[in-house]
Structure 1
Amino acid sequence: MSPDISIHGIDGRVPPGAREFTTGQANRVWSVDAPTPYILKYYGDPTRAANEAAALRLLAEHGVAGPQLLAAEAEATPSWTAQSLVIAQPIPADQFLDELAEPLALVHRIPGTHIGRLAGARRHRRWSDYLHDRLRRYTAVAPDLGPVARHLHERIELADMNVRPVLLHHDLQPGHLLDESAGGRLLIDWELAIYGDSRSDLGRLAVRLGLDDPTPVLAIAEESDPAAEGRLHLYWHIHLLADAALSTDPSVRERAAARLSKAA
């Protein structure tokens, strides 16, 4: 990816006076006061920088509210993006599902061009290929979860995976949906965005909300079909397995493993 330096003259360096508000993840984030205030984000994984930049461009192309990409360089060390500063407040957790429905419907209307990450990662021909690949990655890190993964591989083969890929945020959770002062709602933190089945977004959301049953999140789905609930449960289990295998927080791994055990 070549530098995307704009008329704002942003070069990826942290300017004097920038305020860091990194929240403990692998990335570092600063708020920069400038003639055009912006957010500067450094990434621990350069593929995530490329992916978030691609997602923000896609949102702008389709007229969906989101941070504006001002500049980016995925090949720098560290990789970085500069995004417009959004003056907004997070949606309260008790209102999150109700307020998420409309902006998420707009996102899920953006058609996908392939299966998988938008940039910086392998593209897949079929949605089932992507899911199998994810399961193999999880069990490579956590071989003890192999029996659960084998069961999920079997469920993928039995399910109807003839899905139309659309844009997924794939990290839906309270704090990532903001209320702009003008009354609009927008989603932030797009580094995990993929093209795939919209129900996978809901399955991951159910994991982030700590639900023991993912069915309630179907209420915000724009449309339904007879297989929707079955696919939702499958994706919920896959995302639980991801947390059990990959989370850097031991308590998150333990909770995910416990939910998987109950659901078995």
Structure 2
Amino acid sequence: MRIDGRVPDGATEITTGQANRVWHIGGREPYILKHYSDPARATNEAAALALLTHHRAPSPRLLHADVDRQPAWTAQSVTQAEPVPAGQFLDELVGPLAAVHAIPGTHFGRLAGAARHPTWRDYLHDRLNLYTATAPGLVTVAAALRQDLDRVNLDIEPRLLHHDLQPGHLFRVPDGPRLLLDWELAAFGDPLSDLARLAVRLRLLSPQSVLTHGLTPAGQRRLGLYWRLHLIADAALATDLRVQAHALALTAGTIT
């Protein structure tokens, strides 16, 4: 079957409410077809999947993509897999996430479709600028976080981050590996940022309990700062009003 981004007859839509549309394409060589509302996200996910495929990482393989078409699309490999139950999510995430975080990066920030940054600090400052431009009411908490970020050592080697970890993005192949899906927000940076973002997605009151055994005091400090940054992101950008309200409530108490 030729993959050209069109939805063939007999395709089964499996879109789950996000802005994108997703189909399962059956046949002798089944695949997942994804159409994107934001071309930049398509570009980034295609770059992430190509890198993951190269490293034989625990993710779908990129089969084809056309990020310049309207709509932009990717075709990804599909396996017989099911979501890991929420109660087992953290335990089963450890192995796949370690494999992902072992992949080195060439810069900081999104892999493609966005500005590249020479340092992790530059990337974090850029994110804070975006959040305050979107939500000026967050200027005070963002300024406090910026000052705290400038007090810690952020000279790290860039590593691949999923940056959208949450239950439903980890799948289990029967008698096989665990696979991480949905790489639109992938970036190069500090692996602790992945854990902090996960803590926010799980609506935890602290990030310290999320896969952080054996962290140094410096690591714990960075983790807490990233957690505050991801809370500000949700407070500024979340489209779900419940998520936004939760982030705003926690953000209000993070100025130290």
Category of TM-score, reference length = shorter chain:
over 0.9
**Which residues in structure 2 correspond to 1:1-264 (within 5 Å)?**
8-219=1-212, 224-264=215-255
What is the deviation of 1:246?
A: 0.4
What is the deviation of 1:131?
A: 0.2
For 1:256 and 1:142, how far apart are their aligned partners in 2? 13
What is the deviation of 1:262?
A: 2.7
Report the residue type matching 2:246 in the other structure.
R
What is the deviation of 1:22?
A: 1.1
RMSD of aligned alpha carbons: 1.2
For 1:63 and 1:29, how far apart are their aligned partners in 2? 23
SS at match of 2:179: strand
For 2:145 and 2:243, how far apart are their aligned partners in 1? 20
How many residue pairs match? The answer is 255
What is the deviation of 1:40?
A: 0.6
For each residue in 1:24-71, what CA deviation from the matched residue of structure 2 results, as whole angstroms up to 9, or x when unmatched?
A: 111111111122111110111111111111111111211212111111
What is the deviation of 1:181?
A: 1.4
For 1:169 and 1:145, how far apart are their aligned partners in 2? 26
Unaligned runs of 5+ in 1: 1-7
For each residue in 1:106-146, what CA deviation from the matched residue of structure 2 results, as whole angstroms up to 9, or x when unmatched?
A: 10000111111111111001100000000100111100111
SS at match of 2:142: helix
Q: Check conservation: 2:141, 2:254, Cα contact below 8 A.
A: no
Report the residue type matching 1:72 in the other structure.
A
TM-score scaled by length of structure 1: 0.94
Name whichever of 224-233 and 36-45 sits farther off.
224-233
What is the deviation of 1:185?
A: 0.8
Q: Check conservation: 2:21, 2:34, Cα contact below 8 A.
A: yes
What is the deviation of 1:13?
A: 0.6
For 1:237 and 1:140, how far apart are their aligned partners in 2? 17
SS at match of 1:215: coil
Q: Check conservation: 2:58, 2:99, Cα contact below 8 A.
A: no
Percent identical pairs in the alignment equals 58
Q: Check conservation: 2:84, 2:172, Cα contact below 8 A.
A: yes
For 1:35 and 1:218, how far apart are their aligned partners in 2? 40
Q: Check conservation: 2:94, 2:211, Cα contact below 8 A.
A: no
TM-score scaled by length of structure 2: 0.97
For each residue in 1:68-113, what CA deviation from the matched residue of structure 2 results, as whole angstroms up to 9, or x when unmatched?
A: 1111011110000011112111111111111111110010000111
For 2:56 and 2:100, how far apart are their aligned partners in 1? 10
